[in-house]
Structure 1
Amino acid sequence: MLSVTEKQAIDHEIALVPYKKASVIEALKIVQQHRGWISDESVEEIAAYLEISPAEVDSVATFYNLIFRKPVGRHVILLCDSISCYVMGYPRLHKLLEDKLHIRMGGTTADNRFTLLPNVCLGCCDHAPALMIDKDLYRDVEPALLDDILKKYE
């Protein structure tokens, strides 16, 4: 069941749009903020609350890459793999992150601190390579900076 807090936040979003179902992405973001990810049960709860089908909710949830359909770590690292970032050092950062965190792309560290995910573009091609941890964007990332960046999330 959606919590009272989740329902109140979703109701606020519903009030801003002409149709209940137009608030589905916001409802997904609200539930994910409270639960960390969107389970199949969450999809069904949101669908029932918005009076739409679970398939409609799931189609939105699986379209957006920042809606997580499986559990993630406390901090999500999005490593940009656009052509600009690739040319400017993505392969080196990718390998270094996997080695430092002892995970593969898509994995979560044993202590559940980090999940490493690819991202097609972080919108800062002129400052490649880039990565984002939670809502913090890092541009012009050099391998020597990685330890200091990761320490911020201990």
Structure 2
Amino acid sequence: MSTIANTIFSPEMAARFDKLVTIYPVRRSALVPMLLYAQDDLGYVSDAAVAEIALRIEILELDVRNVLSYYSMLRTKPAGKYNVQVCTNISCMLRGGYEILDHCKHKLGIGHKEVTPDGVFSLEEVECIGACCWAPAMQINYDFHDDLTPEKVDVLFQMYKDGQGKDVK
């Protein structure tokens, strides 16, 4: 398939998609990477992104939506500027993951898969984020934070709100 003339993506992302479909033996294998890249580029996977990805891979939009609905890390609605993902899997659960999640809900005033009215934070309860040895843990965008307490969470939220997000020790 040739390059799509009226892409909704940036030229860099469109070029990345063009390359992706050439590196897999089956075009459909590029679907999940494309969905992840689209989400990073747009903030979520829009209807227009679904349509274009289906064209690029030469599959039905329904097939794209089936995969999109399967993976919890893919969103069909915009998230906040900072997407807070609190792990409640077994290690985190045993070390206070639900308490951290409840604290986040209270502090942000939102629930699972919701966004604060100012659009700064969104919140998700997630399964394992791979930080079991340092539980309880959460991820804010692509930054991991572990060995959490409610007090550490409050400091993190303030740092991110102030544009200084990263690790708090």
TM-score, normalisation: structure 2: 0.84
Following TM superposition, where does structure 1 have runs of at least 4 consecutive aligned residues deviating by more than 4 angstroms?
none
Contact residue 101 and residue 125 of structure 2 kept, 8 A: no
Match of 1:49? 56
Cα deviations across residues 41-79 of structure 1 (Å, max 9, x unaligned)? Answer: 321221012110112211221222221122211111110
Match of 1:109 in 2: 116
> 2 CA distance for matches of 1:50 and 1:70?
23
The 5-angstrom pairing of residues 45-124 of structure 1 reads 45-124=52-131
Counterpart among 25, 28, 31 of residue 18 in structure 1: 25
Rounded Cα–Cα distance in structure 2 between residues aligned with 1:146 and 1:90: 12
- Work out the CA distance in 2 between the residues paired with 1:54 and 1:65: 19
More displaced 10-residue stretch of structure 1: 108-117 or 142-151: 142-151
Contact kept, 8 Å, 2:95 with 2:136, in 1: the verdict is yes
Unaligned runs of 5+ in 1: none
CA distance in 2: counterparts of 1:52 and 1:16, whole angstroms: 17
Aligned-partner residue type, residue 30 of structure 1? Y
Q: CA deviation at 1:147?
A: 1.8
Q: How does 1:115-154 map to 2 (within 5 A)?
A: 115-154=122-161
Distance 1:91 1:30, change over 3 A: closer
Provide the TM-score with structure 1 as the length reference: 0.92
How many residue pairs are counted as aligned between the two chains? 154
SS in 2 for 1:79: strand
1:2 maps to 8
Q: Is the 8 A contact 2:131 2:146 kept in 1?
A: yes
SS in 2 for 1:77: strand
Which deviates further from its counterpart, 143-152 or 76-85?
A: 143-152
